[in-house]
Amino acid sequence: MHWTKHLESGALALFLGAAALAAGGQGVPASSTLHQRSAIQSSERDWWKSAVIYEIYPRSFQDSNGDGVGDLNGITQRLDYLKELGIDAIWLSPVYPSPQVDFGYDISDYKNIDPQYGTMADFDRLVAEAGKRHIRVLMDMVMNHSSDKHQWFLQSRSSRTNPYRDWYVWSDGKGETTTDKGQPPNNWISYFGHSAWQWDETTRQYYYHKFYAQQPDLNWNNPKVHEAFKDIISFWLKRGVGGFRFDAVPTLFEDPNLTDEGVVKDKDGKPIINSFGDQELDDSKTTNQPGVHEVMQEMRAYADTFSAASFPGTRVLIGETYMPNITELAKMYGPAGKPEFQLPMDTQVGMINKLDVATFRTKLIEAETELNNNTPLLLFDNHDNPRIQARYGDGVHDTDIQRALSTVLFLSRGAVQMYYGDEIGMLTTTPSRKEDVKDPIGISGWPEEKGRDGERTPMQWDSSANAGFSTAKPWLPVPPSAALLNVADESRDPSSLLAWYRSLIRIKKTNPTMVCGVETMLDTNNTKVLSWMRKAQGAPPVVVSVNFTAESQTVNLNVPGANGKLKTLLKTPGASDPASLEKIELGPYGVYIGEVK
């Protein structure tokens, strides 16, 4: 095992800055040395390297005006909670004006706020109040498509000669005549079911939509589209946002020859049919096409020209990057001299969806060694996937399993993205009747596809009728589980999942080894317990051991160069303090975290 790997540049500065923020963000005292001031400034540039990023689904977080839908002022009301939790940035799923076909991911105006969420003044207040608490606000940047109600598309579909015509992807059909629209140009299908081509009677052509028909794809071969989005990025950066999460990045381009995609077949050679009744395709002509990297290099270079007046530091670009392997993910950071994302999402780890120690170990080693020394962004959850409990839980040890997985998330090297409510163990609560479904894919795909409502239910603040979310009937029902899983009750319980999250985040942000230390897997033949060591120059190594089973386990983590004595930093309830590395006892799904002396 090799620990003698150089620390990332600015690691000491990053720790000093993190410690200063964790201590209450009072800034640098007048008596501080020039070196300390320089360190804090460096930490502002590198804040994202060990950041905790909290995704908020705005319509489900906090309603401030009693209409049953969450809003910006509601988020502002809860900033002190987020500060206490230890959050560095909040990512808002879209709050722009929208017909809400896809709950905001169909944008009709990229430079405004949807009235149901508030006003631009409300947004500015949120950014300002978040800044006072050292929390950055990140916007969702949806560049693959717009709403079909956006002025760009209304112009584009008005005539074939309109200047906006080539802002979108249009094509003649197969066998089209003056009286017959023919067939779609090829076999491409939408992620949300059926053909990805929609016939437009006015101009008698098909337009392409990778998602809903109300979300026409923009044509990224048109330079004017590039300039339009740089203008949008400029608009929000000038308002003080800390960066962007870029939606659906791999789908920006399509095969210009409109070649059919391959049909995915099962082991018997029969086509696989998806939940919408379509033949499953391999996405080979509509995902990860040439051009994606050049676009992101252009957007990164543009964003890097901005300096924050009120909140110094890097404007971070996060990518929704579901990649097939670590090699493709590594490309999303960009080549030398042409950076793309600081933090492309590493779904290789969090979307394993089974408690398999060997797979977790392999994926974490890849994140540590095969991303060209870039910073990983790990996540287990978001608004498009069932919550952690639904994908990893066993119905008996769900909270213990969430403690175990959150340890992997927060104490591995890199930045962290979490989803609102993860910290209290919110459950996926899927509608049981089609008539209750709000998500369009749940309506069109029922009963095989029940939609994403279950992971978007209101935040559970307390055990009252509407969980403290709203005084009115919430837009989605509050699950019965809110009676037990809520912020108020868990805040009073030192053994709660919320208390565990707060402790993990505190360790991540204030322990110098966890802020910047390299990571090495230990006990690598163990198929039941995942263990690793973090090590940084000038600080004690830290070992972490996580039991992935419902049975008690004992591990020996004795390693060359360590005398084996331990100082406990955190452990799951009921665990004892081990005398040495040679014998660490873990209960079912138990966790031990300790400094090596």
Q: Which residues are catalytic, by number?
A: 247, 320
Distance CA 533, CA 593 (A): 10
Distance CA 571, CA 586 (A): 9
CA atoms within 13 A on the CB side of 433: 3
Quote the radius of gyration of the chain (alpha carbons, Å): 25
Taking CA atoms, 327 is separated from 324, 341, 369, 576, in Å, by 8, 15, 11, 41
CA atoms within 13 A on the CB side of 470: 23
Nearest to 229 by CA among 351, 143, 101: 143
Spatial CB neighbours of 18, under 8 Å, sequence gap ≥ 6:
43, 50, 509, 510, 515
| 305 within 8 A of 282, measured Cβ to Cβ | no
Q: How is 168-186 classified by DSSP, letter by letter?
A: B-EEPPBT--SS---B-SS
If you ran DSSP here, which 8-state letter would residue 49 be given? Answer: G
Distance CA 165, CA 154 (A): 10
Distance CA 520, CA 271 (A): 42
Helix H, strand E, coil C: the string for 346-357 is: EHHHHCCCCCCH
Token pair for 480: 């019965």
SS3 197: strand
Which residues, listed in sequence order, are joined to residue 566 by a DSSP beta bridge?
596
Q: Strand order of the sheet with strand 170-171?
A: 170-171, 205-208, 197-200
If you ran DSSP here, which 8-state letter would residue 263 be given? Answer: B
